[in-house]
């Protein structure tokens, strides 16, 4: 009788699993692609579909994430039925293997809870360290600002027309401030709003050519915005600026950018920068600037991964500016209006660069952000220059002494 009870739920489980994957199969999906994504062999997946083996709840969750990533609809009711049948088979079976799966799942839950507690402790320690660092360098920063004001006493700004390359160009501002599985970064929403104003009022980009991608859930949203920006820019006289702010990390030399539903444990759920690299490199626009304020961590102060994100993002013919170099952290203090890196950028665009060139180019902007970070004892930015990307002009300097 026990064996009979175990067989019936197993067959019902297999039938429900096939129903759950019906949309994927109808869209031309293959068992091999699904098996590879789940980290199992095709033969094991076939056993799941035949009812001769039962997947763990973790595999069911991974399957659901796999379908979400490909925008394939699935039934919540079917997956709930699968979970019930999964545990029913485990409960009615005397198979040591199935009981082991259940125990492993419980152990996995305990480990995830332990990891969450460790991340909370780390967040608290990093928050304390940041407060102490800000206290040490705050007074020094104020003195430096006063010295700048004294040196530039009498300086006045005479408005000058924007550069033609941006009047004929476009910008794409991508900001991910809300996440389902990673900490939110509310200041990123402020970044996007202020940068939009700077793009229009400072650089002179037409309003319709400044494209905002707020909290994208899919790669397609980002790629389409960049495609549209490339189409509205003049390929000969125009310029293109791409900005991204959100969680980021590297995986086997690839730069991964977090979307709303991304998780570091599921690399396929993130936006692989290689795909953006190819799209930007294929653009006919001759002047291109890419700015990455990319951070990742479970802590309150986000960390721009330990690998060299600037190197990972290099594109020939383009100037790439990143929030940190290979060994330091990119900060997003929760009490500040902007993320630290973007705050420096906004200040340079809105107020100008003291003692800077008459026209700010990409390299001058980098030098300003680097100097501001160094004076405050904060992480230094990184950069990569492709071709003559460092000469790309951005806007007239708003802070110039009149002689």
Using CA atoms, how far apart are residues 178 and 111, in angstroms rounded to an integer? Answer: 25
Question: Residue 45 is part of a domain; what is its CATH number?
Answer: 1.10.260.40
Q: So what's the pLDDT on residue 226? A: 94
- The residue out of 49, 67, 94 marking a domain boundary is 94
pLDDT of 307 higher than 80: no
Using CA atoms, how far apart are residues 54 and 56, in angstroms rounded to an integer? Answer: 7
4-23 pLDDT, tens digit each: 444 466 778 788 888 888 88
Specify whether the CB–CB gap between 320 and 292 falls below 8 A: yes
How many domains, the chain?
2
Same structural domain for residues 168 and 302? yes
Specify whether the CB–CB gap between 94 and 4 falls below 8 A: no
Q: pLDDT-derived band of residue 209, with 50, 70 and 90 as boundaries?
A: very high
Task: Retrieve residue 196's tokens.
Answer: 């939009």
> How far is C-alpha 79 from the chain's CA centre?
29
Beta-carbon contacts of 131 under 8 Å, excluding residues fewer than 6 positions away, are none
Same structural domain for residues 83 and 164? no
Q: So what's the pLDDT on residue 135? A: 64
Strands 393-396 and 359-361: antiparallel
11-20, 173-182, 201-210, 234-243, range with the lowest pLDDT: 11-20
Using CA atoms, how far apart are residues 68 and 60, in angstroms rounded to an integer? Answer: 12
Same structural domain for residues 81 and 195? no
pLDDT of 319 higher than 70: yes
Q: So what's the pLDDT on residue 95? A: 58
Flag whether 272 is in a domain: yes
* pLDDT higher at 323 or 222: 222
Flag whether 63 is in a domain: yes
- The residue out of 69, 94, 119 marking a domain boundary is 94
Q: pLDDT-derived band of residue 215, with 50, 70 and 90 as boundaries?
A: very high
SS3 395: strand
Instruction: Provide the residue range defining the domain that includes 62.
Output: 2-94
17-31, 170-184, 319-333, range with the lowest pLDDT: 319-333
Flag whether 222 is in a domain: yes
Flag whether 64 is in a domain: yes
0.75 cut: is pTM over it? no
Helix (H), strand (E), coil (C) string for 219-281: HHHHHHHHHHHHHHCCCCCCEEEEEEEECEEEECCEEEECCCCCECCEHHHCEEHHHHHHHHH
């Amino acid at each position: 009788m026990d064996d009979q009870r175990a067989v019936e739920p197993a067959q019902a489980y297999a039938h429900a699993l096939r129903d759950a994957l019906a949309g994927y199969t109808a869209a031309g999906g293959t068992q091999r692609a699904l098996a590879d994504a789940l980290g199992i062999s095709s033969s094991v997946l076939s056993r799941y579909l035949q009812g001769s083996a039962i997947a763990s709840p973790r595999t069911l969750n991974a399957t659901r994430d796999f379908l979400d990533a490909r925008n394939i609809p699935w039934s919540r009711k079917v997956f709930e039925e699968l979970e019930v049948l999964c545990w029913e088979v485990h409960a009615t079976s005397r198979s040591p293997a199935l009981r082991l799966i259940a125990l492993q799942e419980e152990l996995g839950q305990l480990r995830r809870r332990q990891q969450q507690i460790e991340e909370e402790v780390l967040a608290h320690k990093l928050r304390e360290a940041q407060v102490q660092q800000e206290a040490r360098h705050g007074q020094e920063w104020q003195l430096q600002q006063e010295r700048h004001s004294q040196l530039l006493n009498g300086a006045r700004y005479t408005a000058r027309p924007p550069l033609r390359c941006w009047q004929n160009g476009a910008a794409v501002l991508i900001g991910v401030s809300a996440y389902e599985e990673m900490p939110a970064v509310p200041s990123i929403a402020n970044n996007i709003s202020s940068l939009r104003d700077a793009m229009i009022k400072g650089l002179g980009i037409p309003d319709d050519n400044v494209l905002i991608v707020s909290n994208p859930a899919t790669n397609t949203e980002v790629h389409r915005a960049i495609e549209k920006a490339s189409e509205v820019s003049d390929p000969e006289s125009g310029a293109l600026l791409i900005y991204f702010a959100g969680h980021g990390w590297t995986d086997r030399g690839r730069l991964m950018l977090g979307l709303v539903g991304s998780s570091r444990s599921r690399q396929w759920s993130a936006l692989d920068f290689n795909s953006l690299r190819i799209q930007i490199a294929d653009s006919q626009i001759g002047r291109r600037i890419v700015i990455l304020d990319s951070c990742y961590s479970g802590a309150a102060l986000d960390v721009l991964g330990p690998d060299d994100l600037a190197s990972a993002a290099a594109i020939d013919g383009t100037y790439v500016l990143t929030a940190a170099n290979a060994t330091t952290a990119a900060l997003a203090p929760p009490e500040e209006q902007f993320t630290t890196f973007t705050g420096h950028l906004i200040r340079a665009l809105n107020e100008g660069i003291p003692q800077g060139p008459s026209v700010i180019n990409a390299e001058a902007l980098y030098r300003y952000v680097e100097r501001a970070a160094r004076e405050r004892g904060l992480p230094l930015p990184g950069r990569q220059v492709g071709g003559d990307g460092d000469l790309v002009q951005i806007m007239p300097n708003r802070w110039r002494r009149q002689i």
